[in-house]
Amino acid sequence: KHVPGSFEKARLRFAHAETVVPFSCLLGLFLEKSEFDKIQKEKPLELPPKPPQKRKWRGSTVAPFAGNNMLVLYSCPAPDKARSKHFVQVLHNEHPIPMPGCHGSDFCPFEVFKVLIQSTLLHKLINVQD
């Protein structure tokens, strides 16, 4: 319950690397554009004959000791209060990281963010609950 006029300031969830890695993948962090598209369409990724030297996805980067992901929701006021905009910022190990599909920006409009993850995330949650 909240005091009238107040709002929830944070909701924190904690997990191990075994959760951080798939969540990072689901968000498309550290993936090349073609890999993110395949994950969104639930298609398998092809394994290269040997790992590319300049790949973005590295276990030591994605899930180092005390690795974490944060989703921060910003409410940006507009002149018309009914039209306030909301943005999501993804932080990985306390550093902002652009999400694929958000045009390289650290701040993704909430509606765009929702479309990017909704179908994949909901599909996975429904399969887990069945």
pLDDT of residue 53: 66
Per-residue pLDDT of the chain (130 residues; tens, 9 = 90+): 556 666 666 677 777 777 787 777 777 787 776 777 777 777 787 766 666 667 666 666 777 777 788 888 888 877 776 666 889 998 888 889 888 888 888 999 988 888 887 766 666 555 555 4
Domain span at residue 113 reads 17-129
Q: How far apart are CA 92 and CA 69, in angstroms?
A: 5
Per DSSP (E only), the strands in 2-128 are: 69-76, 85-92, 95-96, 107-109
pLDDT of residue 57: 67
pLDDT of residue 96: 92
With respect to residue 84, please indicate whether it lies within any of the assigned structural domains: yes
With respect to residue 11, please indicate whether it lies within any of the assigned structural domains: no
Q: How far apart are CA 122 and CA 88, in angstroms?
A: 18
With respect to residue 5, please indicate whether it lies within any of the assigned structural domains: no
With respect to residue 58, please indicate whether it lies within any of the assigned structural domains: yes
Number of domains, the chain: 1
With respect to residue 4, please indicate whether it lies within any of the assigned structural domains: no
With respect to residue 45, please indicate whether it lies within any of the assigned structural domains: yes
With respect to residue 88, please indicate whether it lies within any of the assigned structural domains: yes
With respect to residue 63, please indicate whether it lies within any of the assigned structural domains: yes
Q: How far apart are CA 68 and CA 54, in angstroms?
A: 23
